[in-house]
Structure 1
Amino acid sequence: MYKDTNKRSIAKGVSWRFFATTTTIIIVYVFFGRLDLAIAAGLLETVAKIGLYWAHERAWFKIKWGRKKIEPFNIWFTGLPLSGKTTIADAVYKELEKLDIPIERIDSKDIRDIAPNIGFSREDRNRHMHRIGHLIKTLQNNSVSTVASFVSPYRESRKAIRDMVKNNVVVYVKADIETCKVRDYKGVYKKAISGELKNFSGVNDVYEEPQHAEIIINTDNTSVEEATIIIVKYIKKNYVK
C-alpha cells in the first residue's frame, strides 16, 4: 500500500497549476495575439482560482449535510474450538475491507503466537480477554473497527469485552461438539480427551454459551458463504449505512 507524502501532494498541485495556467495563457494568446494580455490572464486566473478553491473548501467544511460518520464496531466471534470461527471471520473481514473502512483482523492464534506464555486457566483467559479488550478499545479510539475471533468460553470475559468496547456484535458460531471433532485436523480434541491437553473448552473445561449474542450461526447447517452474507448484511444495516 502506498500513500502520497506531503511533498508529493504539493508537487502534484504545483505541476497541475502550472499546466492549467499555461493552457490559459496559450488560449488567450491564440485568440487575442497579445502575449502580455495572455500572461496577465494566466496569472489572474491562478490567483483567483486559489482563492476561490480555499473559500469553496472552507464553506463545505462547515456544511454537515451529506457527511457520513461510521462509528467503529467490533465483531466478536466466539464458539467451541474448530466450530468455524476463524474461517467465517476471515471471510467477513475480506468482505468488509471492500467497503473501504478502517478495519483490522484479530485472531487468537496470532495473539498467542506473539505471546505464547499466556495460560489456559480461567484466570489466565479472563486476563487475556481484558488485554484484547484494551487493544480493541485503542483501535476504536482511532476510528478503526475490528473483526475478532476467540473461543472466549466464559461469560464474564465476554461481558468484559462488551463493557469495554463500543458497538460490540457477538457472533456465536455454534457447532455440535461431534462436528468439531470431525473437523479436528490438528488432533487437539483427541489430546484433550486423552488428558494430554488441559483446560480444553468443551472437553475438560466448560464453554458457556452466549445468552445475548446478536447473531447465531450454526455451522452444522450453514455454509461459510451463507454466514458471511448474514453477518455483513447485519453490519451494513446497523453500522455502515
Structure 2
Amino acid sequence: MVWLTGLAGSGKSTLAKELYIKLQSQALNVVYLDGDELRDVLGAYSYDKQGRISVAKKRADLARLLSRQGIITIVSTISMFDEIYAYNREHFPNYLEVYVSCDYDELIRRDQKQIYSKALKGELPNVVGVDIDYDEPKAHLRIDNTTLGGIDEKVKQILEKIQSTFQSTQGA
C-alpha cells in the first residue's frame, strides 16, 4: 500500500500515475486509486475537515480490501490529517506513506483548478492549506515537488523506498 499525500497541486497524482505505470510493468496486480475519482464513486462531497477525514477512511478501507487480496494499491489524496496517518498505520501492515511537498507560492502559481485563487478570494470554502489547517506528515518518504522536472528520479526514490521497506518487513 503506497499512500501519496500532499496539498492540491503538489503533483501527487502525476507521481502516482507514473509509479503505477512502473509497477504495472513489473507486476500484474497493481491498482491506482485517485482521490478525486474516489470521491465521485463514493458520492462523498463534504469538504469540511470531518467530511475529508470520513472519505479518507473510506478510501483507506477500500485500499485495505484490495491490499488483502494481494493487490499493490497506490492512493493519491490530500487527506493531510494526523487521524488519517494513524488510521492507515494501524490498519496496513505493509504501508508506505509518501509526502509530496511543494512550496505554497508554487502551488498558487500552478493552481490549474483555481482552488487557491478562489479560496483566497473567499469564493471557495474548506480548502486545505487555506482555511483548513493540515498536519504535515512524518512520512516514510518526503519528495519535494516544487520543481516539476525529474519525475523519473522522484518515482525511482519511491520505488527504492518500497523495495527497502518491503525487504526490511520480509526479514523481520
> Does the pair score TM above 0.5?
yes
Letter in 2 for 1:216: R
What is the TM-score of this pair, normalised by structure 2? 0.90
> What is the DSSP-based 3-state SS (H/G/I as helix, E as strand, rest coil) of the residue aligned with 1:77?
strand
2:4 alignment counterpart: 77
Question: 2:145 matched to 1:219?
Answer: yes
What value does the CA root-mean-square deviation take over the aligned residues? 1.7
Letter in 2 for 1:90: K
What is the TM-score of this pair, normalised by structure 1? 0.65
Q: Quick one: higher RCO (CA 8 Å, sep 6+), 1 or 2?
A: 2
Letter in 2 for 1:154: F
Q: Distance in 2 between matches of 1:126 and 1:132?
A: 10
Question: 2:93 matched to 1:166?
Answer: yes
Uncovered stretches (5+) of structure 2, i.e. residues with no partner: none
Q: Distance in 1 between matches of 2:126 and 2:20?
A: 29
> What is the DSSP-based 3-state SS (H/G/I as helix, E as strand, rest coil) of the residue aligned with 1:239?
helix
Q: Distance in 2 between matches of 1:105 and 1:179?
A: 26
Letter in 2 for 1:214: H
1:107 alignment counterpart: 34
Q: Distance in 2 between matches of 1:172 and 1:238?
A: 16
2:115 alignment counterpart: 188
1:131 alignment counterpart: 58
Query: 1:238, CA displacement in angstroms?
Result: 3.2
Q: How does 1:37-48 map to 2 (within 5 A)?
A: none
Query: 1:101, CA displacement in angstroms?
Result: 4.3
Partner deviation per Cα, 1:52-105 (whole Å, 9 max, x = no partner): xxxxxxxxxxxxxxxxxxxxxx11101111011000111111101111241110
Equivalent residues of 2:9, 2:112 under 8 A apart: no
Aligned CA distance change for structure 1 residues 118 and 166 (closer, same or farther; 3 Å): farther
> How many residues in Structure 1 have an aligned counterpart in Structure 2?
167
Equivalent residues of 2:49, 2:132 under 8 A apart: no
Q: How does 1:20-59 map to 2 (within 5 A)?
A: none
> What is the DSSP-based 3-state SS (H/G/I as helix, E as strand, rest coil) of the residue aligned with 1:171?
strand
Equivalent residues of 2:39, 2:55 under 8 A apart: no
Moved over 2 A (4+): 115-118, 236-241
